[in-house]
Amino acid sequence: MAETTDLDKDAKRNSDVALAQAKAASAGVRKAPWWVTPLVAVAIFAIIAPMGGILGLGAVTTLTTVLYYTVIAQGWNLLGGYGGYLNFGAAVFAGTGAYTAAWLNSEFEWTLWQTLIPAAFAAAFVSLIVGFATLRLRSHYFAIFTLVLTFLALVVVKNWPALGGAIGLFTDVEGDFSSRGLAILFFYVLFGLAILATVIAYFVEHSNFGYALRAISEDEPAAQVLGVKTTSVKLRALLIGAALGGLAGAVYAFFTGYIEPAGTFSLDLALDIVLVCVIGGMRSWLGPLIGSIIVVLLEQILRVVVPNLHLFGLDIPAETNRLVLGVLLLIFALFIRRGVVGLFVQRRGRVVSV
Amino acid sequence: MNTEATAVSVTAPELALNDITAGYFANDIVLESVSMTVRPGNVTVVLGPNGSGKSTSLRVMSGFLRPRTGTVTLDGQDISTTSPADRLRLGIATLPQGRSVFPDLSVDENLRLGAWQLRNDKGRLNDAVDAMLERYPKLKPLRTRLAGSLSGGQARLLEFARTLILEPSVLLIDEPSVGLAPVLVDDVYNELERLKDEGRTILLVDQNVQAAIGLADQVYTLAYGKNHLQGARDSFEGQLDDLIKQWLNL
């Protein structure tokens, strides 16, 4: 297009439009330097690190839950966030890990450490089956399927005598631990896994694999046209995410000491993980970490505060926290689509839909 | 550019549909015994009214739709079951219909995704990106802009660049001017003209009959999913109006 001054005009006009919009949104083209997000992550982990030794038992347990959510959410975010394949399957993979670990422990007396790898493999294996069956589905069909999948897993496990049926399985940590000692152990195991998951997410985001996932999320047919083997990319993302979920689930099985089907394959967990990523920021490796902290702390606070409010002399049930979180999810999904991280790390330029 | 152009036309293979039957649903046939040949160094244009199977023919060529019967051949070699990604590796690139840039990725990242097959060869990848920025200097200052903030014309340029970045030997172009402002349509045809002058092998599907025929070496027309007319451009020039009238009555 050699002779076209029209394109110039067009470019000019468009940049004016873009500029006006940028000014209007006051977000502008602010972009934090590249080292800000790694620094924030390191700072968060550095602050959390000594907490296991400092805080009281209750607070340590809460932080352990934060780390548990971080591991699963980082895994979920690979396909759910970067890939744009929103799904409610997180509990299936974490549950598979939990049941694998609990079964190996109660049946063969494997220790926590010995069950970690098998749990990751079991979850990855389940994800492979799920992925082969469903990843040709486009996003919302996939989301609905994963919803069904959670119930399916629940029904299967409930009716599987070797897995304890509806009664569930008990786990036992080898060695003589005080209750505080145990809490600290789980805290640091999950602390390590959370760092592992975050590092994996960082490398995925900055790799060709990460680009492919983002391309899939934005325009899957276009990615295919460019030669991206989309099904295989999605499958790999699901697999890595499931393995992380499986690892977290294994620790969880020992952490609670007892697992049963309804609590393990619960939609609450699946929804929480989506919430964590949406609030934290689905397009960033930092998002799930920040989201976990916000969601878990908020849930805890609401659970304690809300029943004591006695608004108008009414008894308000603790489950109200789900209502608050639901509203929060809507607000973020509608207005703060890049999550908390997106508020601080704005990519240059504005997205103008044409 | 001229030496390169001859190189392109000499090495370009011949892509052909042979007696293709295809459709999207079990009881629905969109193409019935369609045959066409994309000759090396030629611009082959496929025309026809809405729903005649133009875009479907292109999808069969690019590998996004598998034919039920018949074969797709590249220089006589059967590639009917080759995946779209592998066809791209064989040099068949597609410029899809409508806007297909990744809006939340920068212009640069969009180009890099176009060269996805070179992802493990950083040197060649960078060279390919630079070559495209050289070819489309207007994209240069936009490198770090998000593709979603580009105008329609700029986005089209980026799509051309992304399709050409692997230096494909056959280009399949689907309705390149649909949805663009009239001024930009001219730009698109100027670009197509340039591709033709470079001696590239092109299959062009378009509703813009006049402009498309202007570019064509070979023309195929489809009607109701079947071959209708075919021949060199000259044999069509007189009967264009008749053709269009005929299609409107179809």
Residues of A in contact with B186 (CB under 8 A): 4, 6
Q: A174 in helix, strand or coil?
A: coil
The predicted pLDDT at position B11 comes to 66
**Rounded distance between C-alpha atoms, residue B171 and residue B205, angstroms:** 11
Question: Quick one: closest CA in A to B168, which residue?
Answer: A226
Confidence of residue A11 (pLDDT cuts 50, 70, 90): low
Distance from CA of B116 to the nearest CA of A (A): 7
Sign of the Cα pseudo-torsion (A135, A138, A139, A143, in order):
negative
Among A1, A215, A348, select the one facing B102 at the smallest CB separation: A215
Is the Cβ–Cβ distance between A135 and A229 less than 8 Å? Answer: no
The predicted pLDDT at position A1 comes to 42
Each residue's pLDDT tens digit, A290-319: 999 999 999 888 888 777 777 777 777 767
pLDDT of B195 > 80? The answer is yes
Q: B151 in helix, strand or coil?
A: coil
* Highest mean pLDDT, choosing among A66-75, B9-18, B90-99, B123-132: A66-75
pLDDT of A72 > 90? The answer is yes
Please state, in angstroms and as integers, the Cα–Cα distance from residue B44 to each residue in A80, B172, B185, B221, B229, following that order. 42, 10, 19, 11, 13
Torsion of CA B59, B65, B70, B74, to 10 degrees: 60
**Rounded distance between C-alpha atoms, residue A29 and residue B178, angstroms:** 32
Distance from CA of A302 to the nearest CA of B (A): 36
Distance from CA of B161 to the nearest CA of A (A): 12
The predicted pLDDT at position B173 comes to 94
- What integer is the mean pLDDT of A79-88? 92
Q: What angle do CA A134, A261, A156 make, to 5 degrees?
A: 50
Confidence of residue A9 (pLDDT cuts 50, 70, 90): low
Under an 8 A CB cutoff, do B149 and A349 touch? Answer: yes
Residues of B in contact with A222 (CB under 8 A): 96, 100-102
Question: Chain B contact for A2, CB < 8 A?
Answer: yes
Among A3, A212, A225, select the one facing B84 at the smallest CB separation: A225
Among B83, B94, B190, select the one facing A225 at the smallest CB separation: B94
**DSSP track, A315-332:** ---TTHHHHHHHHHHHHH
Identity of the amino acid at B102: F
Is the Cβ–Cβ distance between A98 and A123 less than 8 Å? Answer: no
Question: Chain B contact for A349, CB < 8 A?
Answer: yes
pLDDT of A28 > 60? The answer is no
**Rounded distance between C-alpha atoms, residue A329 and residue A277, angstroms:** 10
More confident residue, B219 or B250: B219
Please state, in angstroms and as integers, the Cα–Cα distance from residue B68 to each residue in B29, B75, B168, following that order. 9, 21, 27
Confidence of residue B12 (pLDDT cuts 50, 70, 90): confident
Under an 8 A CB cutoff, do B114 and A283 touch? Answer: no
Torsion of CA A257, A262, A263, A264, to 10 degrees: 80
Question: Chain B contact for A225, CB < 8 A?
Answer: yes
Residues of A in contact with B157 (CB under 8 A): 1, 7
More confident residue, A344 or B193: B193
The predicted pLDDT at position A19 comes to 46
Residues of A in contact with B58 (CB under 8 A): none
Question: Quick one: closest CA in A to B120, which residue?
Answer: A208
Q: What angle do CA B122, B125, B130 make, to 5 degrees?
A: 125
Under an 8 A CB cutoff, do A348 and B191 touch? Answer: no
Question: Quick one: closest CA in B to A17, which residue?
Answer: B149
Distance from CA of A298 to the nearest CA of B (A): 31
The predicted pLDDT at position A21 comes to 45
Is the Cβ–Cβ distance between A248 and B146 less than 8 Å? Answer: no
In DSSP terms, which residues pair with B78 in a beta bridge?
A: B73
- The mean pLDDT value of chain B amounts to 87
Under an 8 A CB cutoff, do A348 and B146 touch? Answer: yes
Is the Cβ–Cβ distance between B166 and B118 less than 8 Å? Answer: yes
The widest CA-to-CA distance across chain B, in whole angstroms, is 55
Question: Chain B contact for A353, CB < 8 A?
Answer: yes
Question: Chain B contact for A121, CB < 8 A?
Answer: no
Percentage of chain B lying above the pLDDT 90 cut: 53
Question: Chain B contact for A204, CB < 8 A?
Answer: no
Residues 3-42 of chain A whose Cβ lies under 8 A from any Cβ of chain B:
3-4, 6-7, 10-11, 13-14, 18
Each residue's pLDDT tens digit, A95-141: 999 999 999 999 999 999 999 999 999 999 999 999 988 887 876 88
Which tokens sit at A281? 């920021």
Q: B58 in helix, strand or coil?
A: helix
Under an 8 A CB cutoff, do A223 and B113 touch? Answer: yes
